[in-house]
Chain A
Amino acid sequence: MATLNKQHHIRRPAALMQLVMCACLPGMLALIWFFGWGHLINLVWAGLLALGFEALALKLRQGCIKASLSDGSALVTALLLALALPPFCPWWATMLAVGFAILIGKQLFGGLGYNPFNPAMLGYVLLLVSFPLIMTTWATPKGINTSSIPGFFDTLQIIFLPSQFSLDALTTPTILDVFKFREGLSVAEIWDTQPGFGHWGGFGWEWVNAAFLIGGLWLIYRGAFSWHAPVGMLGTIAFCALIFYDGGSSESHGSPLFHLFSGGTMLGAFYIVTDPVSGATSRQGRLLFGIGAGLLIFLIRAFGGYPDAIAFAVLLMNMAAPLIDLGFQATPAPQTIQSTVDEAQDE
């Protein structure tokens, strides 16, 4: 019925997925600029794996392989994983994450539309709890320590022949890590003494986050999702950070800008919390979902054992989504406005 519909152009699930993939481009480019070719190689590798695993699962489930592969949902899962995993993540780790995400996270529950958890985040968390070392060593961003990032073929070798390289020279802990374990320094002191801090967030990271923000705003403009979940999440993080900023003292948990433009905040806010399948359904529910995710992210970042927390927060909120739906399902019609009738009678 394409002729009647002049507002909504997203008329297939594949169209929505394509839109999300396009919106990821600026963020992807920023990641490649600062951290090298690792993300691109991961993306291609994860994409191939995702299609392979999806086809395998559909064959086992005797589903329609062509229709399901072409909806693009497996590719989006691969894309989100590739964006979230560290650039020098060894090939087998990516395979493990993608396999877990597609087979256990999605197809075991019935495929697209039936998964209670965000598949990409399931794969990510699997690696995070099983191989924490791999997941917390990121490439040193370009422009720090005057060290150059490895070239394309070097990166390829690092990823596919991981045992032959020592990554120590190329990697640093992420900025959230450094900030968390700074041992009594004030915010100003750590900014002066440690490398890797930029204008208000991590060096390089702030640009990556800005690029994801732009892509996300474009998605809202194109009507891919409503503003509720991202605004809920970002607003809550900013609010909590403001409360615990403490004037930048040694007890400070970082400024709102630091939290918004470090780690995976913007990626999480616009590409992960907005996943319609595993999130809440009504608009009010999505706002609450975003607020809950933001609160959990800040709590884990500030008081938990992990430096970043997008994946944990999203999975925990996925669990809470059915309960949120229960609370917000009946949209009560506002009571009738009798006053207008009375006014009319007065006339």
Chain B
Amino acid sequence: MVWLADGIWLQSLLAISVFTLLALTAGAALGFVKHYYGTKDTNSVIDQINNQLPQSQCGQCGYPGCRPYAEAIAHGEPINKCPPGGEAVIAVLAKLLNRPVVTLNEQFGQHEPKRLAVIREEDCIGCGRCLPVCPVDAILGASQYLHTVIADECTGCDLCLKECPVDCIDMVEATPNTGANRYTTTKLIATSLRPSIKPATIATPVDTGLPIKAASFDFQGGMALSDCTKLSTSTPIKTLPLPPMLKLTITPGSRLLIAAGEVVLKGQPLTTTDYDRSYPQHAPTSGTVLAITKTSEDAHQLQLQPDRHDRPFMQAANVQATDDTLATIWSAGIVGLGGGGFPTANKLATSNIDTLILNCVECDPYISCDEMLIKERPQAVLSGLAILAQTVQPKRIMIAITNTKKHLAEALQAAFASLSSTAYLLKKTNISCLLVPDRFPAGSERQLVQMATGIKISGDKRPIDFGVLTQNVGTAHAIHRAINCNEPLISRIVTLTGQALAYPGNYDVLVGTPFNFLLEQAGLQRDRLDHLLLGGAMNGARLVDLTQPLLPTSHCLIAAVAGELTDNATPSPCIRCGFCANVCPSSLLPQQLHWYAQSKEWSKLSKLKLQDCIECGLCNQVCPSRLPLVQSYRIAKQNMQSIAEDKQRSSRAKTRFQQQQKRLASAQQEKNARRLARLQKLPQNH
């Protein structure tokens, strides 16, 4: 019997060890998978639920705030009691808790778009009753003083409405321009107080001319496109006659300096602004301001009827007589003319610029305005560059040009040799002409910086963070006009092209000229026109409303005939060929982005770095299934942005609510302590 017992023991031992080993292996495998692929979130269920709630702290669910409701949900309370969250929050909670999706319980209120409380200050009596009910302390004020609501912090909970004895609180719909990001407080002019310009310290007195060399780096992906600029480069730049009416779009955040009916002169400032994304605007010609109409919540349109005399505005008052170049560039309203539209002075105000790149690379197959500018006005471009160099004091300057357009480099070289002594700084800086490969999108800022310096920029970084500043040729030209000719930004060079135009070419056009006048002058053949593209063949947008005016950033308008740019093929399913990934200049996986954009999986999209997409449109070009890839990314990006903003708001509301709770608790504690002290005093008096 001993051997049997032995056998049993041995077998049990074997079984136990086998299963232990199995358990260990499986456990290790699970742990590995969890570690590498699992969610990192270790919050408790309540915290997870609370994070999904909108944090309006409105109490419509019957609980005093979002966190108590989250606790109740964790203990079995229905998930459909949150009207501000609506169906979206119910869906998320259902997924999180593995419960069925139910409709919102209307008993607790209806889901409405996000609103903000606004106090009508003329009616407010300063009673102070709304202050304590606000769950996030978003109302400012004191007894007998006017109250106001901090728009950024208001969660739209409605709780203050019923407290107000005079009904002076209104709920207004939240728009992108109310509340957050309305005015960034950085004052632009303040940034012009940068260290005064030092004399050039680099001692290289030998004038080496302008050497032409090839770029030493390259970017991934990209694709050579056929060159269609021939259409517009065969004729010199033409100046258009004055249009019968100019329409100026007044940007949000600007203050008008004139009123309707006033007579203005050419170059007279029309607006001024403190907002750092806006810029001062000027009258393109002399004439009468007929009307100023509101086109949207923040934007206005100003109609100017030219008097055809082109009377100039007095210089002394126009551009402030100051030595500060930066302030002059700012007040001349110079913006990035390559398409960015960001005020140039802002970009120049950053110090520690190592490399200045003048972007002369036009990689779009249709746009030629920069090419024509260099061909016809190389001196002006270089003199603009000299002003830029003087302002930012870079260690080296690179003029980037496509290697198929070497004649432009030679034109610049010739102009450089005859440059006047005023541009002495240019000649003393390490300057060169950089030839970059003719591959779309070589002219895009990130790709250009990579080719010039080898620095690959991704995420929310900008070239400035690496000491690199890029400027467009058109901007350099505009800066030259502003500083040397005292002319603010009132005109730009536009490429009007496409096979539906009788006279395609580059035109010097006043800002504010309506597109229909522009197209008429270029000989638009309406019967041949298929569609209009504003801003280039690759990433332009369809232009439908021809009464719209030209903006400083509109560099190209294509009037395409049928079959010139599209062949109206219907999209078919993705066959995952991967052509898109091969051409993507940002090294993304466009087809996976497309899958996730369709299924709205935002977290996966941000993991795949959708935010790095520069929307160049190459993936659309090579897709054999003709899927509208870029369009789906644009929609996804917009959705992700608004979701991120909501998240930010709700997390801010949460912290403020917690702070208020803490404050109330400590106030209560103090009160209790005082009462206790009083009570302790009482018997002694008896």
Contact = CB atoms under 8 A, between A and B. Distances in A.
Contacts of B466: 336, 341
Interface string A1-30: 111111110111101100000000000000
Interface string A296-338: 0000000000000000000000000000011001110110111
Given A336-B466, A341-B467, A226 B578 contact: yes
- If over half of A's interface residues share one DSSP class (helix, strand or loop), that class is named, otherwise mixed; here it is loop
Interface stretch (B75-83, B291-299, B621-629): B621-629
A331 B579 CA distance: 16
A347 B430 contact: yes
A177 interface: no
A329 B226 CA distance: 31
A114 interface: yes
Given A333-B587, A344-B453, A4 B225 contact: yes
B589 A16 contact: no
A334 B453 CA distance: 14
A330 B607 contact: yes
B603 interface: no
A193 interface: no
Contact of B576 (A276, A330, A345): A276
B567 interface: yes
Interface in B598-615: 607-609, 612
A16 to B, nearest CB: 6
Interface stretch (A85-93, A137-145, A197-205, A277-285): A277-285
B458 A333 contact: yes
B680 interface: no
B263 interface: no
Contacts of B652: none
B231 to A, nearest CB: 12
Contacts of A329: 589, 592, 607-608
Contact of A7 (B223, B430, B459): B223
Contact of A226 (B453, B582, B608): B582
B11 to A, nearest CB: 32
A8 to B, nearest CB: 5
A275 to B, nearest CB: 9
Contacts of B395: 344-345, 347
A193 B512 CA distance: 91
Interface string B624-647: 111000000000000000000000
Given A8-B622, A113-B573, A331-B588, A344 B223 contact: no
Contact of A283 (B226, B355, B458, B581): B581
A331 B608 CA distance: 8
Contacts of B396: 344, 347
A341 B455 contact: yes
Contacts of A163: none
A277 B459 CA distance: 30
B21 interface: no
Contact of A225 (B224, B354, B567, B577): B577
Contacts of B98: none
Contacts of A325: 592
Contacts of A226: 578, 582
A280 to B, nearest CB: 9
A333 B565 contact: no
A60 interface: no
A331 B576 contact: no
A113 B226 CA distance: 30
B226 A6 contact: yes
B37 interface: yes
Interface string A224-238: 011000000000000
A44 interface: no
B456 interface: yes
A340 B467 CA distance: 12
A331 B395 CA distance: 33
Interface residues of B, number: 56
Contacts of A71: 572
A338 B453 CA distance: 9
B101 interface: no
A6 B224 contact: yes
A188 interface: no
A16 B588 CA distance: 23
B204 to A, nearest CB: 10
B110 to A, nearest CB: 38
B348 interface: no
A112 interface: yes
B544 interface: no
Contact of A8 (B567, B621, B625): B621
Given A4-B226, A341-B455, A281 B591 contact: yes
Interface in A175-216: none
B456 A333 contact: yes
Contacts of A345: 354, 395
Contact of B455 (A3, A114, A331, A340): A340
A281 B577 CA distance: 8
A67 interface: yes
B455 A336 contact: yes
A344 B588 contact: no
Nearest to A15: B624
Interface of A: 1-8, 10-13, 15-16, 67, 71, 73, 111-114, 223, 225-226, 276-277, 279, 281-283, 286, 325-326, 329-331, 333-334, 336-338, 340-341, 344-345, 347
Given A5-B622, A340-B454, 18 more contacts: A1-B567, A6-B224, A8-B583, A10-B577, A12-B625, A16-B624, A111-B573, A113-B574, A113-B576, A276-B575, A277-B575, A281-B592, A282-B578, A325-B592, A330-B607, A331-B589, A337-B454, A347-B430
Shortest beta-carbon contacts, A-B, top 7: A113-B573, A333-B458, A340-B454, A276-B576, A8-B622, A6-B226, A276-B577
